[in-house]
């Protein structure tokens, strides 16, 4: 487990060092003191997160021996989409949260207008970063144009009508009494699982995994993504300070509400076991992915 923690800390360090560079405005832009957008976008992206999704890019990249230099910018792109989703999720029209990562939610500091624009900026920048990885990457960090397009398509899918946006829409419109097990599964698979799947696919695709191998990786990511969301709900229920998020929206459709805390914990264990099973085909090569699944299952923050 110590080796996994070291790995996660290395990924977090690399991502945290790279993200500010990727958000630097082009010369001349963002210099107007009235332009409140750059600081809002930076704050949304650079506030301390766990960087779990970038870690997944590196983990599956390692499994398929992708060149590490190729993984960093795609991992940062995924984190940009995640950061955008958190900003939108916290808005009064959505979860109406005033705390995020233990800090005031972005809209409470910069206003709803700047929060929306910051989210749009981060979301579009993610796709810019992927394109630039093919267009302008240093020779060792350049991704082929076809591979970059593949990543763009996968990330776009994760954002859209079968991904984050749709998951959030269903979440917002699911009233009390409508939150069946199947409905909750769909919501969370889209809202949270889709970005886990894209992250896992990124590392695999950059390591030239075959279609069958991609299927196994996808199944792993779907299961840990769902488990991750349920643990998030369990932690949030326990105490606002555990996740650093506070939602004023109620009732939120969650597995914890549907199954009770014990049932939800049981489901987390089952999903984690399915995840581990899915990557069994890779044998000891996938040891770190197994550890990661258990680490996320047992996390307390
Ligand atoms: C950005 C395309 C796009 C759509 C937005 C608002 C929305 C649609 C979706 C909400 C998605 C969402 C916030 C899901 C919750 C996922 C989750 C468990 C977040 C917490 O993730 P952590 O624990 O957070 O990784 P940190 O702070 O560590 O980064």
Both structure tokens of 127: 């796709």
Is residue 252 very low, low, confident or very high in pLDDT (cuts 50, 70, 90)?
Answer: confident
Rounded percentage of the chain residues whose pLDDT exceeds 70: 96
**Cβ atoms of 188 and 167 closer than 8 Å:** yes
Both structure tokens of 31: 């210099």
C-alpha 124/C-alpha 224 separation (Å) is 26
Tell me the β-bridge partners of 104.
Answer: 99
Q: What sign has the CA pseudo-torsion 225, 229, 231, 232?
A: positive
Q: How far is the CA of 82 from the centre of ligand 1 (A)?
A: 5
Judge whether residue 238 has pLDDT over 80: no
Q: How far is the CA of 102 from the centre of ligand 1 (A)?
A: 15
Of ligand 1's listed atoms, the one at least distance from the Cα of 100 is: 27
Is residue 30 very low, low, confident or very high in pLDDT (cuts 50, 70, 90)?
Answer: low
C-alpha 195/C-alpha 160 separation (Å) is 11
Between the alpha carbon of residue 152 and those of residues 77, 81, 83, 198, the distances in Å are: 10, 12, 17, 10
Q: Residue 228 burial by CB count (10 A; 0-12/13-18/19+): exposed, middle or buried?
A: buried
Q: Residue 250 burial by CB count (10 A; 0-12/13-18/19+): exposed, middle or buried?
A: exposed
Tens-digit pLDDT profile for residues 41-77: 999 999 999 999 999 999 999 999 999 999 999 999 9
CB of 123 sitting under 6 A from ligand 1 = yes
C-alpha 234/C-alpha 227 separation (Å) is 10
pTM for this prediction: 0.96
Domains of the chain: 11-17+38-298 (1.10.600.10)
Tens-digit pLDDT profile for residues 119-142: 999 999 999 999 999 987 666 668
Q: Which residue in 118, 110, 88, 90 sits closest to 23, CA to CA?
A: 118
pLDDT score for 161: 96
pLDDT score for 240: 53
Between the alpha carbon of residue 228 and those of residues 37, 111, 170, 209, 248, the distances in Å are: 31, 30, 19, 25, 21
CB of 52 sitting under 6 A from ligand 1 = yes
Q: How far is the CA of 242 from the centre of ligand 1 (A)?
A: 16
Check residue 47 and report its DSSP letter: S
Q: How far is the CA of 138 from the centre of ligand 1 (A)?
A: 31
Is residue 1 very low, low, confident or very high in pLDDT (cuts 50, 70, 90)?
Answer: confident
The mean of the pLDDT values for the chain is: 93
Both structure tokens of 124: 């579009």
Measuring from atom 5 of ligand 1, which residue has the nearest CA?
Answer: 85
Tell me the β-bridge partners of 247.
Answer: 97
Q: Which residue in 152, 154, 248, 241 sits closest to 194, CA to CA?
A: 154
C-alpha 256/C-alpha 232 separation (Å) is 10
Mutate-to-test residue for ligand 1 from 88, 187, 243, 295, highest number of ligand atoms within 8 A of CB: 88
């Amino acid at each position: 487990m110590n080796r996994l923690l070291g790995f996660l800390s290395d990924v977090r360090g690399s991502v945290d060092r790279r993200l500010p560079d990727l958000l630097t405005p082009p010369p001349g832009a963002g210099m107007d003191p009235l332009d409140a957008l750059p600081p809002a976008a930076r704050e949304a992206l650079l506030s301390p997160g766990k960087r779990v999704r970038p870690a997944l890019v590196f983990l599956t990249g390692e499994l398929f021996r992708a060149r590490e230099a190729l993984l960093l910018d795609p991992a940062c792109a995924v984190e940009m989409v995640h950061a955008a989703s958190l900003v939108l999720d916290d808005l009064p029209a959505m979860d109406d949260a005033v705390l995020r990562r233990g800090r005031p939610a972005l809209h409470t500091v910069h206003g709803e207008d700047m929060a929306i624009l910051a989210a749009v900026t981060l979301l579009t920048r993610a796709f810019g970063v992927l394109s630039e990885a093919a267009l302008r990457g240093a020779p060792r960090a350049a991704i082929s144009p076809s591979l970059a397009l593949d990543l763009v398509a996968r990330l776009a899918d994760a954002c859209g009508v079968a991904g984050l946006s749709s998951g959030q829409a269903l979440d917002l419109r699911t009233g009390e009494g409508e939150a069946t097990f199947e409905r909750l599964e769909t919501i969370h698979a889209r809202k949270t699982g889709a970005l886990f799947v894209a992250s896992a696919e990124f590392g695999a695709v950059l390591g030239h995994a075959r279609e069958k191998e991609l299927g196994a990786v996808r199944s792993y990511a779907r299961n840990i993504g769902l488990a991750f969301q349920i643990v998030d709900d369990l932690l949030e229920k326990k105490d606002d300070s555990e996740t650093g998020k506070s939602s004023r929206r109620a009732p939120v459709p969650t597995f914890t509400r549907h199954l009770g805390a014990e049932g939800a914990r049981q489901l987390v264990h089952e999903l984690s076991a399915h995840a581990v099973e899915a990557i069994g085909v890779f044998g000891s090569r996938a040891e770190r992915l197994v550890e990661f699944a258990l680490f996320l299952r047992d996390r307390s923050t």
